[in-house]
Structure 1
Amino acid sequence: MDRVVVLLSVLSLGVSSQAITESQHLFSIAVSRVQNLHLLAQRLFSNFESTLQTEEQRQLNKIFLQDFCNSDYIISPIDKHETQRSSVLKLLSISYRLVESWEFSSRSLSGGSALRNQISPRLSELKTGIQMLITANQDRAEMFPEGSALQLAPYGNFYQSLGDDELLRRNYELLACFKKDMHKVETYLTVAKCRLSPEANCTL
């Protein structure tokens, strides 16, 4: 009887280890993809900033610091300490919503069509990967309530005819927010991935 218990324990440990290994592999792919998107966001933002005068950059940055991104309506950790305390599933769910919020808006990003055209398919791939991770982790944590999903409308001035100053501000805002959100997703996925390694130090 004791041998049976030991054998079942070993088999259970093996299955659990295999599941964690597969999850780590999925996380590695997701982290790699969001790192690539974050890099693209930085390049788009830099390309756009290079077309501005120094005073324009200063004024736009000042305005942006006082403004909000559309995705700020998605409830997320307020600092690194809350991020580290958040569950894997919570970090995945927030990441999913952040990525989803850019599926439409990313088509209007400035900074170069060659780079911009790479973003939409990569966002879709990342969204699919995060959904797979959410599904894989549902049995190990509580899923967000069905009613907690937040549908974000596109940026309010998408369909307006804008003057030069307003258009410049909108383009700057979109690029800055996209860069900010991809940084968030990269952080959340990196911390969530780290949680699968018990001996790892997940300090931000």
Structure 2
Amino acid sequence: MPAYIGDAGDSPAPVDPSRSAPGSGLRRAMAPARAAGRAGAVAALALLWLLVCGPGDSGCHLLTVADLFDRVIRHSGRIHSLSTTLYTELEKHFPPRDNELGKPARKCHTSGMLTPNGKEYAQKIPREELTHLILKLLQAWKEPLSHFNQHIEHHQELPDDSLSKAKQISNMVHELKTGVEKVTKKMQSMGIISNSLNGMASSEGTGLSISNEANMMSDSDFIHCFRRDSNKVQSYLKILKCRIMPENSC
């Protein structure tokens, strides 16, 4: 039987999202411009997943499964890198709260999800289940990231660059989930994985049911947990690609 792990630890103290400070008016005034820039970036990313070739379009080529996997893996890598940078920035402003043993008190809201412990066990999970787990992890962060972005706007001591990173991560996770869904449909249409994935429990409820728990975490703990899960997603995508295309010798 595959081994599974989850995180343990005490839940961090709740964070008051209502805190405000002088200068908030200026930040709110600048918000539309930042939002417009982010919207443009999201639209550009969406083109990666929505490429459609018209009849007789010689300049367009259909993406292979390998192409799609390469794109989502690179995209997940950028998300993990961005979350690592943001975590470092948040730690400077909000050091992690220590428990009685002097260790950071972290309990991620996704700790209750069973995830394979290491590459060896992930390789033993059926392709459909591993694909479902990736989608479930991404869905579990959708709602919490949205709330986090609303809350973090109240931290006037944070530079705009940090706020921008948080928004970008949320948008990129949405795009990554869309990309993984398209890879899934491609694999199903080619018979690489069965359509049984469609009958599995929906991921929609997962994110909603645990979002309240995520909102109780401190900011640095929240990003620490997201960084952990984003690394899992990238690793599982690489393993899934290697299992489907073993000629890559990975």
Fold match by TM threshold 0.5: yes
Q: Distance in 1 between matches of 2:90 and 2:103?
A: 13
How far is 1:61 from its partner?
A: 4.9
Could you say which residue in structure 1 is the equivalent of 2:120? 81
- Structure 1 residue aligned with 2:244, among 186, 191, 196? 196
Residue 39 of structure 1: aligned partner: 81
* Alpha carbons of structure 1 residues 75 and 148: separation in structure 2 relative to 1, 3 Å: farther
Contact 1:106 1:120 in 2 (8 A): yes
Please state how far the C-alpha of 1:144 moved relative to its aligned partner.
Answer: 3.3
1:117 aligns with 2:167: yes
Map 1:1-204 to 2 at 5 A.
22-52=64-94, 56=96, 59=99, 61-64=103-106, 67=107, 69-107=108-146, 108=148, 112-138=162-188, 139-142=191-194, 143-144=196-197, 146-150=199-203, 151-152=205-206, 153=209, 154-156=211-213, 158=215, 170-202=218-250
Q: Distance in 2 between matches of 1:29 and 1:157?
A: 29
Residue 43 of structure 1 deviates from its aligned partner by: 0.9
- CA shift at 1:100, angstroms? 1.3
Q: Give the Cα separation in 1 of the matches to 2:248 and 2:232.
A: 21
Greater CA drift, 24-33 or 146-155: 146-155
Deviations 1:18-73 (Å, cap 9, x if unpaired)?
Answer: x9x700000001001100110111011111112245xx565585312xx3x22233
Work out the CA distance in 2 between the residues paired with 1:136 and 1:75.
Answer: 26
> Which one has the bigger helix percentage?
1
Partner AA of 2:113 in structure 1: I
Report the equivalent of 2:49: none
Question: CA separation of 1:102/1:179 partners in 2, compared to 1, >3 Å: closer, same or farther?
Answer: same
How high is the TM-score relative to the length of structure 1? 0.71
Unaligned runs of 5+ in 1: 1-18, 159-166
Retained in 2: the 8 A contact 1:35–1:186? yes
CA contact (8 A) 2:119 2:239 kept: no
Q: Could you tell me whether the CA contact under 8 Å between 1:74 and 1:97 is conserved in 2?
A: no
C-alpha displacement of 1:184 = 0.4
Contact 1:45 1:175 in 2 (8 A): yes
SS in 2 for 1:74: coil
After superposing the two structures, state which structure 1 stretch, 144-153 or 129-138, moved more.
144-153
Question: Structure 2 stretches of 5 or more lacking a match?
Answer: 1-61, 153-157
**2-structure distance, mates of 1:23, 1:37:** 21
Compute the RMSD of aligned alpha carbons.
2.7
**Identity across aligned pairs (percent)?**
21
- 2-structure distance, mates of 1:181, 1:61: 20
Q: How many residues align?
A: 170
Alpha-carbon contact 2:97-2:105 (below 8 Å) kept? no
Q: Could you give the per-residue CA deviations for residues 115-141 of structure 1, whole angstroms, max 9, x where no partner exists?
A: 011112211111111001111222323
